[in-house]
Structure 1
């Protein structure tokens, strides 16, 4: 059998999962995930019940992956307003299934295998993973507490020594 890809060999479990295990172990309040300790508002539950039982609009179904035409047109109109240039909703708007897919699409659009990408640290855990999965190499530049500023010389060295994309 052919060996599996080693592309993800450097990945560990997510910080969210790790913090959930630690919270459970010590009985702590878990702020790493959205587990509310209250029921949803009654109005929301009633609206959901009404929408879910109406077979015509199918609001409870996934939308088409490229986004509805009305949504893309609304986004294009908003961007035209702020950018002052024409935006074609069918050629210039990219709709994704969540921010993770959007970040990966952006990373794969602007990087090539072997590129280096500067990532300020601490960072959202997908930045490093998206960089690696794109075939690029993350270069981490620390943000210094308590103000989370960065050392300009460290950033300049990251660009000078590694020729990163971003």
Structure 2
């Protein structure tokens, strides 16, 4: 008996990142496709993990995250990002940013909606949008400084726009969105009742005096 994949799954191909890693291993190259640290994890983290294992901390946590972890996340946002959030109502812990992104989009996006995506983009954003039944509206970041054109961004928004994905600092370009650019995005989100979904996983990796600003 022959089985075929769903129409949804048939639209996707192998991860470009994993493909590059596979080819790199095949030819013995230096892998710049994935983030493989060349140093050990800090001893404090290892010891904390061992302590929890020995203390039998191994049961299911509350669905949206252990209270102590949510409180720590809220404290970090307040002190580093300058954003006050309620750990009981505004923090949900996921298994990494990949799950967080698709879960966030599926929570707010309906089939037929549109999602604005800046390109170049991290490879999951387009598929995440499609899996939600939405249509990605791509807006180009222009070389050499990867700036956005205000008019192009304005034209991407319309009555179908439900969300915009902002990755800052950006993968793969390294672009750090300026306060002015984020203010423009915020203005358009308010105008069209759209939700800004941000991926700020590289917030601590900024160079040349750039300032990371949270949406």
* TM-score interval, normalised by the smaller of the two chains: 0.7 to 0.9
Q: Which residue of 1 aligns with 2:65?
A: 67
Distance in 1, matches of 2:52 and 2:71, equals 28
| Cα distance, 1:105 vs structure 2 | 1.8
| Cα distance, 1:14 vs structure 2 | 0.8
| Cα distance, 1:153 vs structure 2 | 3.5
| Cα distance, 1:5 vs structure 2 | 2.7
Distance in 2, matches of 1:154 and 1:3, equals 39
Counterparts of 1:83-98 in structure 2, within 5 Å, are 83=83, 87=86, 89-98=87-96
Aligned residues of 2:116 and 2:161 also touching (Cα < 8 A): yes
| Cα distance, 1:139 vs structure 2 | 1.5
| Cα distance, 1:147 vs structure 2 | 0.8
Aligned residues: CA RMSD: 3.6
Q: Which residue of 1 aligns with 2:144?
A: 146
Distance in 2, matches of 1:114 and 1:102, equals 22
The change in CA–CA distance for 1:19 and 1:63 in structure 2 (over 3 A counts) is farther
Unaligned runs of 5+ in 2: 165-215
How high is the TM-score relative to the length of structure 1? 0.73
Unaligned runs of 5+ in 1: none
Q: Which has the higher strand share?
A: 2
- More RCO (CA 8 Å, sep 6+): 1
- How many residues end up aligned between the 2 structures? 159
